[in-house]
Amino acid sequence: MVVGGRHWDGRRMSMFHTSLRTLAPRSKPEIADGAEPHAESSTLGGVRVAVPPFVSPHCAYLSSKTPSAAAPPADGAGSNRGSSGAARSDWSIGELLRWTQARFAELGIAEARLDAEHLLAHALGCSRMTLYTEHDRTVDEEPRARFREFVRRRLAREPVAHIEGKRGFHALGLELQVDRRVLVPRPETEHLVDWLLEDLAGNTNARVVDVGTGSGAIALAVKHARADVEVVAVDVSPDALAVAQANATRLESDIIVSRSDLLADVAAGPEGWSAVAANLPYIPSAVIATLEPEVRLFEPHQALDGGPDGLDLIRRLLDQVAQPGVLALGGAVYLEVGFDQATTVAAMFGARGFEAVIRNDYAGIGRIVRGRIAAVVPARSQPE
């Protein structure tokens, strides 16, 4: 699925893969009404959450005055209100970050500080660096209100990428628009792009197809790095195609976006594809309900559900690429797979006459499998 870009700051895929490893079902988290004595509470997305007490949405919104204290003032009950009992209006950047980080941590949100920084920088329209250089500045009412809404959404476990409406991808610095119609691009997918680009070096007449393109991340990254390569992005989902086309238009990329059920509806051309890249659904159906809320509640299940063992679409694609004429001479297939699927997928390649190689991610997990037609094709066993 889907170093540069904000997503390398820690990101949610760590939670996603942790949930896949443990397969432990998760109940909806709840913040008790008494967790923050003077914070309001609200129900959002079916989850009861505490909302920030800074009730009063560009760094231009920073006030020139400094707050009255280095941390939110508190009476014996832990109040975040002024001496008159009214909600405070003089919150500094540092105070907002500390309050929000604590709330996120209470709910068990990974990277609580990082998420708070991204949301506050987004509300202010400034960089995260500015949050530190201006940490003692008071934030005006309008951006505080906007930040408060962002925090409420995150407490309901909406991904930061959805709240911001964007996600950086690949070392080339692509910024992709994302929403509920597509998966949020992940760092694992960057390994696939890197490997594909390494293999394309010196190939001046290459044709690449990104199967199950989603936001267009793979196709756009390849085209951005290699303007001379013809890149086609296909998906079966009209919603995903709309997002991919919008990203291509905004980035002024001339990739070809087309609807296709895997490779069934797109022509390989007279010489075949130089590379077939795919980040297909690979989560076993029974595991979907155990995923983290950020994935389970906010990302399209069509892009997650890979059937009983997670490999249904991968099998179909391998059957297609094994047909004569689909791959160019020396062409290869690059697949992103689940944390425990690489060996199985490599065997599936082998059963269809391919030589398979596995590449690990930075955590040492086999994540990308490349298949090429073997120089000497062995007698084929029955494909899995």
**Which percentage of the chain shows pLDDT scores above 70?**
74
Q: Please say if the pLDDT value at position 195 is more than 70.
A: yes
Topology of domain 172-373, CATH:
Rossmann fold (3.40.50)
Beta-carbon count within 10 A of 258 CB:
17
- Separation CA 210–CA 279 (nearest Å): 8
* Token code pair at residue 327: 């791959």
Q: What is the dihedral angle through the alpha carbons of 71, 76, 82, 87, rounded to the nearest 10 degrees?
A: 90
b/e per residue 273-304 (b: at least 16 CB within 10 A): bbbbbbbbbbbbbebeebbbbbbbbbbbeebb
Q: State the pairing for strand pair 273-278/207-211.
A: parallel
pLDDT exceeds 90 at position 246: yes
Residue 373's beta-bridge partner residues?
354
Q: What is the mean pLDDT of the chain?
A: 82
8 A C-beta contact, residue 188 and residue 336: yes
At 90 the pLDDT is 85
Q: Are strands 230-235 and 256-259 parallel, antiparallel or unpaired?
A: parallel
45-49, 98-102, 262-266, 331-335: range with lowest mean pLDDT: 45-49
Query: Residue 198 gets which letter from DSSP?
Result: H
**To which residue do tokens 């063992």 refer?**
309
User: How far, in Å, CA of 312 to CA of 329, rounded?
Assistant: 27
Q: What is the pLDDT of residue 380?
A: 54
Q: How far apart (Å, rounded) are the C-alpha atoms in residues 247 and 342?
A: 30
pLDDT band (50, 70, 90) for residue 76: very low
Please name which of 124, 177, 119 lies closest in space to residue 153, comparing C-alpha atoms: 119
- What are the tokens at 322? 């094994």
- Confidence at residue 358, expressed as pLDDT on a 0 to 100 scale: 98
Are residues 195 and 370 in contact, defined by beta-carbon separation less than 8 angstroms?
Answer: yes
Contact 167, 185 (CB under 8 A): yes
Residue 17 sits at the vertex; the CA angle it makes with 182 and 50, to the nearest 5 degrees, is 75
Q: Which residue has the higher pLDDT, 39 or 6?
A: 39
DSSP E strand boundaries for 113-229? 166-169, 174-177, 207-211
- The CA-atom distances, in angstroms, between 101 and each of 32, 82, 318 are 17, 21, 45
CA distance 186 to 103: 25
- CA pair distance 182, 1, nearest whole angstrom: 10
pLDDT at 374: 75
Domain spans, the chain: 30-156, 172-373
Give SS3 for 7: helix
Query: Has residue 252 got a pLDDT over 50?
Result: yes
Phi then psi for residue 40, to 5 deg, are -70, 165
Mind giving me the DSSP string for 10-61?
S-THHHHHHHHHH----PPP---TTSSTTSEEEEETTEEEEE-S-----GGG
Q: pLDDT tens, 266-321?
A: 999 999 999 999 999 999 999 999 999 999 999 999 999 999 999 999 999 999 99
Please tell me the least confidently modeled range out of 63-67, 199-203, 297-301, 348-352. Answer: 63-67
pLDDT tens-digit map of 352-372: 999 999 999 999 999 999 999
Q: Is 67 helix (H, G, I), strand (E, B) or coil?
A: coil
Question: pLDDT for 140-156, tens place per residue?
Answer: 999 999 999 999 999 99
Compute φ and ψ for 287, nearest 5 degrees: -90, -20
CA pseudo-torsion sign 59, 64, 69, 72: negative
Q: Highest mean pLDDT range out of 56-65, 241-250, 372-381?
A: 241-250
